[in-house]
Amino acid sequence: MFSTLGAPRPARREHKAKEVPMDESRRSFLARVAGTGAIVALADPPLVFAQAPAPAAPEPVIPGTVSNADVLKGKDMSVFKVHSERPLTGSVPAEAHDFDVTPTDRMFIRNNLLTPDIDAAQHKLTIKGLVDKELTFSVDELKRTFKAVTLQAMLECAGSGRTGFQPTPRGTPWSPTGGMGCPKWTGVRLADVLRAAGVKANAVHVAGQGADFGAVPTLAPVIRSIPMSKAMEENTLIAWDMNGAPLPKVHGYPIRLLVPGWAGSASTKWLHTLTVLDAPFKGTYMDDSYRIPRYPVAPGERMPKDAVSTEAWPVKSMITAPAPNAKFRVGEPILVRGKAWVGDGAIERVEISLDEGVTWQAAHDPRGDKYAWRGFRFLHRPQRPGYQTFLARAWDDKGNAQPLVSPWNPLGYFWNGVHRVGVTVEA
């Protein structure tokens, strides 16, 4: 069994500056925001409060990396909220997701280390391990050798929605609907590349390693592995384009894995090595992070020994319109819109509640691609003034429904509680 892949990093500019380790950086960030109050479960904060305070001074740029300031030039900062500077994380609230396809400037950011500045012309991808022949491709060779495919697919951080949990676990303070997006991706099927290398009969997992790094040499490289069955799915890609353009540097340029439906950490950015293994990879991002209890635990408990790696997202939905605290008149039509998705299977139906979950009514929800979110609509004409709430609940084709509140877990993963939006109806 492999305990480390030991793959050489791709060529990049040398760096010697020191950096606070990732966990310490995260703790210091949380300390700065402690005491500001928890975000209410089920509902996102109003957009007017979504902007993070400007940092006192920009973080020093590590040689061989892209500065956060340059990264954020590609984001719509009128709606994009920066959650932490190092590692860089950020997202937009639900009402900024009212698109069939997520615009690149609204796609969430979740780094574990720094954003590497990679020269695509020099970048290589190596496939090794339990294969008949080790292969290495340049980015251009990868594009020329295999058939390109384009698909729309969800990508969502495992911690998306963490602030919905009470007590709120430590980690990036994603809002109940922050940390996801559904762009279009172009690349080659991972299965085609693995077949070219010849996967041996005892292969069980495939590990992807990225070229991101921190200035502290002891920081573990970002390596996650996925089962061979998921690697061989036709929608699992090695992608180079997002929404018809080259991947932005922060989103994995020049190539990344795309593992649709699974926690975003499986979709390794800045991909440079694939290692075929006879067991799941053993390392920080498999054994310490991105794990959930096998069985439910009480809020506040520590991670039990019987825990499993995060894989497919449970069924989830969000309301993208109207925006929280919007105002309407009695009798004025209110068109409720939103998105629903599930990591494994398909969305069966979406329901809306006007009475805090006592009763539910069917929303109109047209079919969509397997791993893309599905839009839904619901028309309501209020007959009296006052505060009106809308709750959205999705069901998948296996009979699973969103809970009102997600079961608690120590790392705050897989929040899929019912999303709630309130508006005011005036006479």
Please give the pLDDT value at position 5: 55
In a domain, 8, yes or no: no
pLDDT in tens, 278-303: 999 999 999 999 999 999 999 999 99
pLDDT in tens, 216-225: 877 899 999 9
Please give the pLDDT value at position 369: 80
What mean pLDDT do residues 54-61 have? 64
For residue 33, report the phi and psi dihedrals to the nearest 5 degrees: -95, -5
pLDDT in tens, 131-180: 999 999 999 999 999 999 999 999 999 999 999 999 999 999 999 898 99
User: Token digits for 41?
Assistant: 């479960």
What mean pLDDT do residues 86-97 have? 96
In a domain, 9, yes or no: no
Asked which of 286, 309, 332 is the last residue of a domain, the reply is 309
Q: Which of 211, 157, 188 is nearest to 411 (CA)?
A: 157
Please give the pLDDT value at position 59: 67
Helices marked H in 255-331:
284-287
- Beta-carbon contacts of residue 288 (< 8 Å; ≥ 6 apart): none
Asked which of 271, 288, 309 is the last residue of a domain, the reply is 309
How far apart (Å, rounded) are the C-alpha atoms in residues 32 and 38? 14
Please give the pLDDT value at position 297: 98
What's the pLDDT band for 367 if we cut at 50, 70, 90?
A: confident
Please give the pLDDT value at position 58: 66
How far apart (Å, rounded) are the C-alpha atoms in residues 63 and 14? 6
Query: Mean of the per-residue pLDDT values for the chain?
Result: 89
In a domain, 281, yes or no: yes
Please give the pLDDT value at position 14: 35
145 and 241 share one domain: yes
In a domain, 16, yes or no: no
DSSP 178-209: -SEE--EEEEEEHHHHHHHH-B-TT--EEEEE
Secondary structure (3-state) at 426: strand
pLDDT in tens, 395-414: 999 999 999 999 999 999 99
279 and 357 share one domain: no
288 and 409 share one domain: no
User: Token digits for 123?
Assistant: 């970048």
In a domain, 17, yes or no: no
What's the pLDDT band for 60 if we cut at 50, 70, 90?
A: confident
In a domain, 147, yes or no: yes
pLDDT in tens, 218-277: 789 999 999 999 999 999 999 999 999 999 999 999 999 999 999 999 999 999 999 999
Structural domain count, the chain: 2
Q: Would you give the distance in Å from CA 244 to the centre of its chain?
A: 20
More confident residue, 185 or 60: 185
Secondary structure (3-state) at 346: coil
Please give the pLDDT value at position 360: 99
Please give the pLDDT value at position 178: 86
pLDDT at 118 over 80: yes
91: enclosing H helix or E strand: strand 88-91
Q: What percent of the chain has pLDDT over 70?
A: 86
What mean pLDDT do residues 61-68 have? 92
Whole-prediction pTM? 0.86
Please give the pLDDT value at position 48: 39
pLDDT at 376 over 50: yes
342 and 252 share one domain: no
What mean pLDDT do residues 62-68 have? 94
Q: Which of 157, 156, 234 is nearest to 190 (CA)?
A: 234
CATH of the domain at 384: 2.60.40.650
Asked which of 248, 281, 309 is the last residue of a domain, the reply is 309
Give a three-class secondary structure readout of 116-178: ECCCCCCCEEEEEECECCCEEEEHHHHHHHCCEEEEECCEECCCCCHHHCCCCCCCCCCCCCC
Give the range of the structural domain holding residue 398, as residue numbers without chain letter: 316-426
More confident residue, 404 or 51: 404
Residues paired with residue 160 on neighbouring β-strands, in sequence order: none
Secondary structure (3-state) at 419: strand
Q: Which of 340, 343, 228, 208 is nearest to 279 (CA)?
A: 228
CATH of the domain at 147: 3.90.420.10
- Beta-carbon contacts of residue 393 (< 8 Å; ≥ 6 apart): 317, 350, 351, 352, 353, 357, 360, 401, 402, 418
Q: Which of 418, 171, 80 is nearest to 68 (CA)?
A: 80
8 Å CB contact between 385 and 426: yes
pLDDT at 351 over 90: yes
Planar angle of CA 127, 129, 132, nearest 5 degrees: 80
**CA dihedral for 405, 406, 409, 413, sign (positive or negative):** negative
What's the pLDDT band for 31 if we cut at 50, 70, 90?
A: very low
Please give the pLDDT value at position 353: 99
